[in-house]
């Protein structure tokens, strides 16, 4: 009887046949395990795995696929001479790998590329481990993939050449390595329009990995005017492109295509780690604010809500740069509350109390009280709110007040009310606003 009906549980997705519920991953594991080595057809196996991916998603099948690689290519031939923190897989001295079919290597590399394309950002570790095993088993396929990509990208996206006024623009994308390399020869709007169009098409029309390294070379060395942002080439790209206001919609289109909460620019690490689209959003937020416009404010707010606030802190630097330049205007307060609900820590700055001490800023702050954070706080802030026994929106509000006034925001007076010293020191004409903020 044919399978019918889909279902899902904490253990994954599956389907029902003859009244029995079957996990999709179990079906894949069973199908792959049936085929003897000398009969294994990588093309057929890849087609079956792709069908399962489209039905259930990569997350539900990745364990079965990586287990197949480990059982067929790792366990029989390798030993780990490293430790839990630093594995070192080496071929056993007595193994014979001459009988291994090329089809095993092809399917293993399909799994590795799938990890890069469809898995979380940390799946690159699994992908590179598989590439390493296949290489040590004597296959040149990983080296070819790293040099040429999978061959699945359209030729015009695998290698792009600008024409006309965009002559001198080159772009190369490798979907096996998850790298994009771009060069601009001439500093003009047409060159950056070509680059932005290329990037957006690559992300919107293919299954290029969502975490990737974006490298750029151009004639103008300039960076976004925000302290502590990484002075890397991706910063340079958007700092240059945003200098042409006619390209702002194209920058926004790239940012929308690139933003993905748990993905990263893989060539930005540590305290500089950033979700794809980060520098594009910052560039728009900074440039538009200088003109007094707000067309791209919703994009910035969406970004601040989507970014992985547990692991990224660059959004805090962007917020600080905005407030130092424009104060706590309506947009700045919007950004403050969005950021406060989705970041581990917002740094208090000594200039903030003076910048907010005006009717416009205090009114803007009061207007947002109780509005809440649309996307909810990220994991760590949410946990902090739970441990304190307060709603997440209250946590975001308190976090914002502490960013403005520091520890004084939580200093309580004789009546038990927070912000007592701040209220006491406020100008008489503004005291009512301060009282409402700390009520």
| Nearest CA among 433, 411, 436 for reference residue 358 | 433
Distance CA 342, CA 310 (A): 8
Task: Name the more confident of 373 and 222.
Answer: 222
| Nearest CA among 155, 179, 159 for reference residue 169 | 159
Distance CA 311, CA 270 (A): 9
Token representation of residue 419: 């912000």
| Nearest CA among 63, 74, 53 for reference residue 123 | 63
- Identify the pLDDT of residue 258: 98
Most confident of 97-101, 198-202, 385-389: 198-202
- Identify the pLDDT of residue 6: 45
**Average pLDDT score over residue span 295-310:** 94
Distance CA 111, CA 405 (A): 51
125-139, 214-228, 315-329, 335-349: which has the minimum mean pLDDT? Answer: 335-349
Task: Name the more confident of 223 and 344.
Answer: 223
Residue 7 pLDDT > 50, yes or no?
A: no
Q: What mean pLDDT value characterizes the chain? A: 89
- For the chain, percent of residues with pLDDT exceeding 70: 89
Residue 326 pLDDT > 70, yes or no?
A: yes
Location of structure tokens 């999978």: 150
- Identify the pLDDT of residue 84: 83
**Average pLDDT score over residue span 220-244:** 97
7-11, 16-20, 195-199: which has the minimum mean pLDDT? Answer: 7-11
Residue 334 pLDDT > 90, yes or no?
A: yes
Distance CA 327, CA 352 (A): 8
Residue 21 pLDDT > 50, yes or no?
A: no
Confidence of residue 54 (pLDDT cuts 50, 70, 90): confident
Element (H, E) at 335: helix 330-340
b/e code 55-75 from CB counts within 10 Å (16+ = b): ebebebbbebbbbbbbebbbe
| Nearest CA among 222, 344, 338 for reference residue 279 | 222
- Identify the pLDDT of residue 2: 39
77-91, 184-198, 392-406: which has the minimum mean pLDDT? Answer: 392-406
Residue 202 pLDDT > 70, yes or no?
A: yes
- Identify the pLDDT of residue 213: 96
The CA-based angle 384-386-388, given to 5 degrees, is 70
Burial of 366 (0-12, 13-18, 19+ CB in 10 A): middle
Residue 298 pLDDT > 70, yes or no?
A: yes
Distance CA 216, CA 237 (A): 6
Token representation of residue 88: 């070192």
86-100, 377-391, 409-423: which has the minimum mean pLDDT? Answer: 377-391
| Nearest CA among 290, 158, 268, 164 for reference residue 213 | 268
Residue 377 pLDDT > 80, yes or no?
A: no
Residue 26 pLDDT > 80, yes or no?
A: no
Burial of 21 (0-12, 13-18, 19+ CB in 10 A): exposed
Residue 181 pLDDT > 90, yes or no?
A: yes
Burial of 229 (0-12, 13-18, 19+ CB in 10 A): buried
- Identify the pLDDT of residue 372: 52
Residue 3 pLDDT > 50, yes or no?
A: no
Partners of 80 in the β-ladder: 89
Ramachandran bin of 14, using left for φ above 0, alpha for ψ from -120 to 50, beta for the remaining angles: beta
């Amino acid at each position: 009887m044919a399978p019918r009906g889909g279902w899902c549980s904490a253990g994954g997705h599956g389907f029902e046949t003859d009244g029995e519920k079957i996990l999709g991953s179990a079906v894949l594991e069973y199908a792959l395990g049936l085929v003897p080595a000398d009969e294994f057809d990588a093309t057929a196996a890849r087609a079956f795995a792709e069908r399962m991916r489209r039905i259930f998603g990569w997350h539900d099948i990745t364990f079965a696929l990586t287990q197949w690689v480990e059982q067929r290519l790792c366990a029989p031939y390798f030993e780990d001479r490293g430790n839990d923190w630093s594995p070192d897989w080496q071929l056993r001295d007595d193994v014979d790998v001459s009988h291994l079919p090329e089809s095993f290597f092809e399917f293993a590399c399909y799994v590795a590329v799938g990890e890069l394309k469809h898995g979380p950002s940390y799946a690159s570790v699994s992908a590179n481990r598989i590439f390493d095993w296949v290489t040590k088993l004597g296959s040149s396929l990983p080296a070819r993939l790293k040099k040429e990509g999978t061959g699945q990208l359209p030729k015009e996206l695998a290698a792009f050449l600008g024409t006309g006024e965009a002559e001198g623009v080159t772009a190369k994308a490798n979907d096996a390595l998850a790298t994009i390399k771009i060069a601009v020869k001439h500093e003009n709007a047409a060159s950056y329009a070509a680059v932005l169009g290329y990037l957006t098409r690559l992300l919107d029309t293919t299954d290029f990995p969502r975490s990737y390294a974006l490298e750029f070379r151009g004639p103008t060395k300039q960076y976004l005017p925000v302290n502590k942002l990484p002075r890397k080439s991706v910063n340079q790209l958007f700092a240059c492109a945003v200098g042409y206001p006619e390209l702002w919609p194209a920058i926004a289109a790239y940012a929308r295509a690139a933003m993905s909460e748990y993905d990263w620019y893989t060539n930005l690490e540590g305290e500089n780690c950033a979700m794809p689209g980060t520098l594009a959003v910052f560039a728009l937020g900074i440039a538009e604010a200088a003109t007094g416009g707000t067309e791209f404010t919703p994009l910035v707010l969406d970004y601040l809500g989507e970014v992985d606030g547990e692991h990224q802190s660059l959004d805090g630097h962007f917020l600080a740069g905005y407030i130092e330049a424009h104060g706590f205007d309506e947009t700045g307060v919007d950004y403050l509350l969005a950021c406060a609900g989705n970041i581990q820590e917002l740094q208090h700055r000594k200039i903030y109390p003076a910048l907010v001490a005006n009717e416009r800023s205090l009114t803007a702050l009061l207007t947002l009280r109780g509005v809440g954070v649309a996307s909810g706080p990220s994991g760590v802030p949410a946990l902090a709110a739970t441990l304190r026994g307060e709603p997440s929106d209250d946590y975001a509000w308190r976090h914002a007040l502490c960013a403005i006034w520091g520890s004084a925001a939580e200093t309580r007076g004789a009546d038990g009310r927070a912000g007592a010293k701040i209220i006491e020191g406020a100008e008489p004409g503004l005291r009512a606003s301060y009282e409402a903020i700390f009520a």
